[in-house]
Structure 1
Amino acid sequence: MSRRTPLALAAAAVGLVAVSTVSSAGAAPADPAARTVGCTSTVPPGTHSVPIRFAGGTTEVQVFVPSHRPARVPLVLDLHGSGSNGPAQSGISDLASVAEREGFLVANPTAAVELPPSDPPLPGGGWAWNVPGVPTTAGQLPPPDARDDVAFLAAVVDQLGAAACVDTRRTYATGYSGGGRMASALACELSDRIAAIAPVAGLRAGRPAPDEPSVPEVQSCTPREPVAVLTFHGDADGVNPYGGSDDLRWGYSAPVAVQTWARLNDCRTGPVRTALTEHVSLTTYARCAGGADVEFQRITGGGHTWPGADEPEGPLGPITQEVDASETMWQFFEAHPKHV
């Protein structure tokens, strides 16, 4: 799948959002019973800026709707990394190309904790997610009045569910870096809504224990229902190191995060390791509660990058083309609806 560079696509996406707004997405949160009755989507095909009501205000969220879709459409939340924004993330993942072919919705919301501007400045600014109990890349916890992003993203899911006729059994989340940490937090906190997650360079299973960052704080991730997990991580990642760090923003290693989700999902077989390509290996845990399998693609020599992204190698390290994260995660999502 061909991908445009993030800055070029972000600029194009920002222009699209500015001219196409759907006001009806501020409808009441979705009634879980609505999955069994008729629904008419009020969000037409294309890329739109959809207003989401939250905490007494309205926040615009970029949403892509495919031209052909089922009556009840799957939803993928695609969360940007720290210092980025929703339209820029849509350029990195290019999930809209997969969504157009496969018939699912992609939402690219933007975080609300503002970070210092990059050089050159990114169109739309740079923002960080308020991951519960975790510092931002600025090294500090978000301010006490920062938006509750777990609650905000729950509102995105509910209001898009009502406006776009989302299949409540097939709501998923991915994210890059800080967005991967946020997607992980959604699996911990919104396990009744999220069927599966697929973080890239950012899987967590709760925050690092403050007194021992090499392990997760158990009480910070207690999902009520199993959530399937797929993750991708380069072992040469210099931002979120594969082997972990002492930074409370990151902490324990990528393998520990995977192993913790296998425990949370009560997986009964695994780990089973296989070679996918010369530089990509797959670790799987199966026979998990609720069919919530756990899979881990380790990229040997991979950087802090999105596998398959079509952009020149930069300071974040090599980008493997041996696997395509966007294509692979959709295959995983499609195979892992929520069991009810």
Structure 2
Amino acid sequence: MIAGVALASLVAAGALSAITVGGVERTYQLYVPDGAAAKAPLVVVLHGRLGSAEQVRRHAGFDDEARKRGALVLYPNGIDRRWNDLRQLTLEPSKRFAGADDVGFVLALVDRLIAEGTVDPARVYVAGHSNGGFLALTLACTHAERFAGVGVVAATLPKTACALGRPLPLMLFHGTADPLVPFAGGGVGRKGARGLVRGNAETAQLFADQAGCQLALRRAPIDRDAKDGTAVVVEERAGCAVPVVNVIVEGGGHGWPGRPPKLSDATREIDATAWLAAFFLEGKLP
């Protein structure tokens, strides 16, 4: 267990539980499917800004996908419904949030589950939306050795340094018309004041370079629903040590693909949750 961390006994699937990290009480939900084997795979799912564990659990629908595959799903809660990631923010909502050790919080939960024999340390995955995607990328940048794959919806790498410690499987979803996280990079938020980030292509390229990829290959667009105003282009890489998949939603906004839109339009062409579950837990590409 990480020094300075105390954790209450893990309880039944879905109940709100608490952990103390560095003297601060944090909360989370844990989904455990019936009949889950010892040392099962774990998917950590991180909510977006102003979201919550309960909100992303209901909205993204990971429980159903995990149940089919015998996986656990961990839903942490951010302080002030936000995550402290690698972006250099000037607009902090509170001193409590500004000092939050969210990386330590996530790692503490994962460490305890591993120590209890509940989770296979070689099959821990992290996914997040928006601010949660930024934290997922922060964990990839700082602790790549702890995760078997990362999935990101509507987020990219910050302009601050990111040195991946090893090749890490990536599935990245991003809308070209995202009004909050610019597809080409720049300032986050409607006024661009929530930190500077790299563009979609640069983010995918950093992971591809670490994996030794040689060539980007684009598939024909997926456009099954002509009414939703979007099409999906899957960009894969050849010659990689691990898969790097960039799912570009042409005309897409800030929403989670396949789920009801919240902040802006979400494509109905694909289901990002199903794609991530298959990518993480079965090693399948779309």
Tell me the TM-score normalized by structure 2.
0.85
Structure 1 residue 132: Cα displacement = 2.7
* 8 A contact 2:26–2:77 mirrored in 1: no
* 8 A contact 2:87–2:196 mirrored in 1: no
Structure 1 residue 335: Cα displacement = 4.2
Structure 1 residue 241: Cα displacement = 1.5
Structure 1 residue 308: Cα displacement = 0.9
Can you give the 5+ residue segments of structure 1 that lack an aligned partner in the other structure?
Answer: 1-21, 26-42, 115-126, 209-216
* 8 A contact 1:299–1:320 mirrored in 2: yes
Q: CA RMSD in A?
A: 2.3
Identify the residue that residue 9 of structure 2 maps to in structure 1: 24
Identify the residue that residue 260 of structure 1 maps to in structure 2: 206
Structure 1 pair 325–199 and aligned structure 2 pair: CA distance change class (3 A):
same
| Matches of 1:160 and 1:196, distance apart in 2 | 18
Write out per-residue CA displacement over residues 263-318 of structure 1, whole angstroms, 9 at most, x where no aligned residue.
Answer: 12222x320100251211111124323xx211011111111000111x3x45x322
Instruction: Name the count of aligned residue pairs.
Output: 265
Aligned residues with identical type, % of pairs:
30
What amino acid sits opposite 1:294 in the alignment? V
* 8 A contact 1:285–1:294 mirrored in 2: yes
Identify the residue that residue 37 of structure 2 maps to in structure 1: 70
Identify the residue that residue 216 of structure 2 maps to in structure 1: 271
Structure 1 residue 133: Cα displacement = 4.5
| Matches of 2:186 and 2:94, distance apart in 1 | 20
1:245 to 186, 195, 198: 186
| Matches of 1:298 and 1:194, distance apart in 2 | 24
Structure 1 runs of 4+ with >6 Å offset: none
Structure 1 residue 223: Cα displacement = 2.3
Identify the residue that residue 200 of structure 1 maps to in structure 2: 153
* 8 A contact 1:49–1:60 mirrored in 2: yes
Identify the residue that residue 232 of structure 1 maps to in structure 2: 173
1:330 is the counterpart of 2:277:
yes
Q: How does 1:78-117 map to 2 (within 5 A)?
A: 78-112=45-79, 114=80
Structure 1 pair 266–225 and aligned structure 2 pair: CA distance change class (3 A):
same
Identify the residue that residue 131 of structure 2 maps to in structure 1: 178
| Matches of 1:69 and 1:191, distance apart in 2 | 26
What amino acid sits opposite 1:67 in the alignment? D
Structure 1 residue 57: Cα displacement = 4.5
Secondary structure in structure 1 of the residue aligned to 2:145? coil
Identify the residue that residue 233 of structure 2 maps to in structure 1: 281
Q: How does 1:129-140 map to 2 (within 5 A)?
A: 129-135=83-89, 139-140=91-92
| Matches of 2:222 and 2:31, distance apart in 1 | 32
Write out per-residue CA displacement over residues 207-258 of structure 1, whole angstroms, 9 at most, x where no aligned residue.
Answer: 21xxxxxxxx4xx211222211001111111111212224462432111111
Identify the residue that residue 191 of structure 1 maps to in structure 2: 144
What amino acid sits opposite 1:293 in the alignment? P
Secondary structure in structure 1 of the residue aligned to 2:137? helix
